[in-house]
Amino acid sequence: MSLACTAQSYQPTKENLEARRQFQDAKFGIFIHWGVYSMLGNGEWVMHNRKINYQEYAKLPASFYPVNFNAEEWIKAFKDAGARYITFTTRHHDGFSMFKTATSNYNIVDGTPFHRDVVGELAKACQKEGLSLHLYYSHLDWHRLDYPLGRTGLQLGRPTDQQNWKSYFNFMNQQLTELLTNYGKVGAIWFDGMWDHDKDKTPFDWQLTEQYRIIHKLQPACLVINNHHLKPFDGEDAQTFEKDFPGHNTTGFADNQEIGELPLEECQTMNDDWGYNITDLNYKSLKELIHLLVTDAGYDANLLLNVGPQPDGQIPATALERLKGMGEWLRQYGETIYGTRGGYVAPQKWGATTLKGNKLYVHILKLDTNELQLPVLPRKVLNAKVYGEATKVGFKKNKNGVLLQLPKTPTETDYIVELTLQNKKK
């Protein structure tokens, strides 16, 4: 895939570098997939999957009235869950904008009886509660006729003789300018959909250099994140992985994705779908979600955990229950997650480690014995105890590294051993 952005010309500002550090410290964010597609209760790809004619799909907004949407309730629930930022779908692949835009009436303010700017209300609530606002933006569009057709949305009845990249590129940049001008500080623009042209015989030029330049000019600290499933390009500020830990490829999305040198994030669903699916009750347990968060932290990555609000604007009850549980856990153990970096021991079958200063937190997620062998560590262990307790943990150096002798065989969701390490030599 040609991207016309291979030259290493981007120089992030001091504000941007600080924003990257804060992003790494955050460790936990909430992804929100919500749009008119939620009305059909079959996920955010329903237009493509059910081959809905683009003119028929465009009738949905006239009936979209999320009477129970309350931005402050959402953000308070996410904050209470321990999240430090949200990533909201301002425009998904169906092309419908969830914010006021001058580009067309195909938006929630001008095209629905709701007449309220969801992005604006979320921005105010985030500012009030101290959460960072990240904005998802789709590079592909199944609605606009000027979008150069890729490998998806080909059976929606759209004419094929009106494709116009220059027109579509200008449209996207006008919308991005609106998003970065009208809603205060934006923590990140989170792109998705470039993979729509990854099968083209002639490499497609997305002109990312120019687009990224516009973003950084409008808000220098704003991070650019692109879910293109490839190694980061020049102009990007963080790297995301879809439904996989960094460096893994269990989903098939990361065939060609290498880990770069930027801050990392995994985006993951709470059940199976991203957008609301009325039949998808396959929610991960609280234990599974905590293990995801801990393991991602062990990979030095954030967890961006998705919720798919109902068409009436409410967060599903099961999702709220899981979020409440995560918040309770983080209030007790958040010190071992927030502000940490991946520990000296990469995630293993038994768990993961996180590092903060001279503290190495050993997160034991699954162990059927009371002994844990750690490899050789670069710093001497001075003390070991159960996190949050005075209970001592035995440890001794051996030829393989450090052997931890636990007071018992762990059965907790996450049994955390706090190791105090010798300070680094200056």
Q: Domain coordinates of the chain in residue numbers?
A: 14-340, 351-421
User: Domain 14-340 falls in which CATH fold?
Assistant: TIM Barrel (3.20.20)
**Cβ-defined contacts of 201-208 (< 8 Å, 24+):** 203/1, 203/2, 204/1, 204/2, 204/148, 204/150, 205/2, 205/3, 205/4, 206/3, 206/4, 206/139, 207/4, 207/169, 208/3, 208/4, 208/5, 208/233, 208/235
pTM for the full model?
Answer: 0.97
Rounded Cα–Cα distance for residues 174 and 168 (Å): 10
What is the average pLDDT across 217-240? 97
Cα dihedral value 196, 306, 170, 111, nearest 10: 110
Residue-wise pLDDT for 141-186, tens only, equals: 999 999 999 999 999 999 999 999 999 999 999 999 999 999 999 9
pLDDT band at 3 (very low <50, low <70, confident <90, very high): very low
Superfamily of domain 351-421: Golgi alpha-mannosidase II (2.60.40.1180)
What gap in Å lies between CA 28 and CA 82, rounded to an integer?
7
- The partner residues of 418 in beta bridges, in order of sequence, read 361, 385
Residue 421: both structure tokens together: 């390490």
pLDDT at 224: 98
- φ/ψ (deg, to 5) at 227: -85, 60
In the chain the first and final C-alpha atoms are separated, in Å, by 45
Q: What is the pLDDT of residue 8?
A: 60
Confidence label for 295 from pLDDT (cuts 50, 70 and 90): very high
